[in-house]
Structure 1
Amino acid sequence: MLQLAFYALLFTSICGYAFFQGRFLESPLRKTSIVLVIAHPDDEVMFFGPTLAELTRPEHGNTVRVLCMSSGNHDNLGETRKKELVASCKSFGIRESHVTVLDREELKDGPEELWDPSLVGDQMNLYAKKHNIETIITFDERGVSSHTNHIACYVGLTYFIQTFKERTPVKTCYVLKSISLLRKYTSILDLPLTMVMTEALMPLISEWIGASGTAPLARGSNNRVSRTTPLRPLELLYVSSPSAIAQAKGAMEKHESQMVWFRKLYVIFSRYMAVNELRRVM
């Protein structure tokens, strides 16, 4: 019985994967300026690889930047990790000038370090204004791995939204949805459950049933918009192609100082290396 259930799960996972590689679901983030806000060098690929692989596709016309809140200097490897981050981002086509690492005393790397939300939010605001950022992407309230610094990025984003929402070029903010530990290490086998639970497929379903141009928008709005209007749905789902997964693995290998045995296993089994689900918070 368990064997049958496994094969059924594997079959539906492969079918779901084939569905997304047919590119039936297009990203609404096009021709816009985006910043990925992370806590440490390697977060960009360990957790956001599918997002970066999709948003940096040349045909989307996006300008993608990375803002890293710390140098990851917990083990006195900060300078090395900065260089590794630049090399990793280059794997996604992100130029060095679009990668910024903050190295402030108040933003030390470490699970016991509590970052001031106002400082994190202020840094987001300054960066957004300097580079005319329209979309911010970061961790959610659980930080994927419950790391204090990851969660601080979300809390800082909350402060940013509450304080600067009316006077910022930022139009949308998305956070990476955390999932349970069991789902986290099932790679694409988690895809059927993701597809059942996500709202990211709603625009496509609406089009199929004849309500084209309708998408679930933030704050519960479902007003009809034209096809030429950029949609900002409540959720986005990015599923990497085999080449994008290979791209992410190559990017992770740039973080040589972090490639201990358990991270090598993470690269193989983590769902976040293949699937990203983003939730809109602004």
Structure 2
Amino acid sequence: MLLYAFYALLITAIGGYAFFQTRLLKTPMTRTSIALVIAHPDDEVMFFGPTLAELTRPEHGNTVRVLCMSSGNSDGLGETRKKELIASCKSFGIRESHVTVLERDELKDGHKELWDPSLVGDQMNLFAKKHNIETLITFDEKGVSAHTNHIACYVGLTYFIQTFKERTPVKTIYVLKSVSLLRKYISILDLPFTMVMTEALMPLVNQWLGLAGAAALIGGQPAPTTSNGRTVLRPLELLFVSAPSAIAQAKGAMEKHESQMVWFRKLYVIFSRYMSINELRRVM
């Protein structure tokens, strides 16, 4: 019985994967400035690989920057890890000048290091203003791996929204949805579960049913517009499922983090669903 269930899951996952490779589900983020906010070097690919692979596609015309809150210097490898981060980002077509790593005593790498939310939020605000960022992306309240520093990015984001919402160029904020431990390590087999639970497919379903429109696409809220009157679509959720070439791109980027490629991270690259699936939830 369990074997039949596995086969059904496998077939469904393959079918879902084939569906996403037809690219019927288009990203609404094009020709905009995006900042990915992470806690440590290697977060950008271990957790956000599918997001970067999609949003950095040349045809989307996005400008993608990375703001890393620490150099990951808990083992004294901060300078090495910064160089690895730059090399990893280059694998996604992100220029070195678009990668910023903060070096502050108050933002040390470590599970026991508690970052001040106001400091994290202030850094997000300064970065957004300096580079005219329109979209922020970071971890959710569970931090994917429950790492204290990952969660601190979300808590700092909450402070940023509460304090600077009316005084920032940022129009949209997404967080990466955390999943259970079991789902986290079944790779592409998690796709059927994701498709059942996500709201990212609703715009496409509405379009098929003839119900498409701004209200359907952005959860019934008024659709914001740019200065030239162009409607900005802000779906409640986004779902990125990497094609084989994008998965290979992410694996190549992960290999740039040579100092971190211990045995359990090599297993992570093979089994983690975050190497091929990203589901983002809009919080602003």
Q: The residue matched to 1:107 in structure 2 has which SS? A: coil
Alignment partner, residue 136 of structure 1: 136
Q: Distance in 1 between matches of 2:222 and 2:130?
A: 33
Give the letter aligned to residue 72 of structure 1. Answer: G
> 1:116-265 maps to which residues of 2 (within 5 A)?
116-214=116-214, 216=216, 220-222=219-221, 229-265=231-267
TM-score between the two structures when normalised by the length of structure 1: 0.97
Gap regions ≥5 residues in structure 1: none
Structure 1 pair 276/215, CA: closer, same or farther in 2 (3 Å)?
farther
- 1:39 aligned partner, one-letter code: A
8 Å contact kept, 1:30–1:60: yes
* Alignment length (residue pairs): 280
Cα-to-partner distance string for 1:5-26 (whole Å, 9 max, x where unaligned):
1111000000000000000100
Amino acid at match of 2:211: A
SS at structure 2 position matched to 1:249: helix
1:49 aligns to what?
Answer: 49
| Deviation, structure 1 residue 214 | 3.9
Q: Between 244-253 and 206-215, report the one with greater CA deviation.
A: 206-215
CA offsets 1:28-75 (integer angstroms, 9 cap, x no match): 011000000000000000000000000000000000000000000000
CA distance in 2, matches of 1:100, 1:70: 10
- Which residue does the alignment assign to 1:64? 64
1:223 CA drift (Å): 5.5
Aligned-pair identity (%): 82
Q: Residue 211 of structure 1: CA displacement?
A: 1.2
Amino acid at match of 2:115: W
* In 1, Cα distance between equivalents of 2:74 and 2:224: 48
Distance in 1 (CA, whole Å) between partners of 2:140 and 2:127 is: 20
Residue deviations 1:174-224 (CA, integer Å, cap 9, x gap): 000000000000001000010000000010001000012245566x52568
Residue 5 (structure 1) aligns with: 5
Kindly provide the amino acid, as one letter, of the partner of residue 275 in structure 2. Answer: M
Question: Which residue identity does 2:232 align to in structure 1?
Answer: P
**TM-score, normalised by the number of residues in structure 2:** 0.96
Change (3 A) 1:211 1:225: farther
Asked whether the 8 Å contact 1:213–1:224 carries over to 2, the reply is no
Aligned to 1:280: 282
Which residue of 271, 274, 282 corresponds with 2:273? 271
Which amino acid is 1:77 matched to?
A: L
1:134-168 Cα distance to aligned partner (Å, 9 max, x none):
00000000000000000000000000000000010
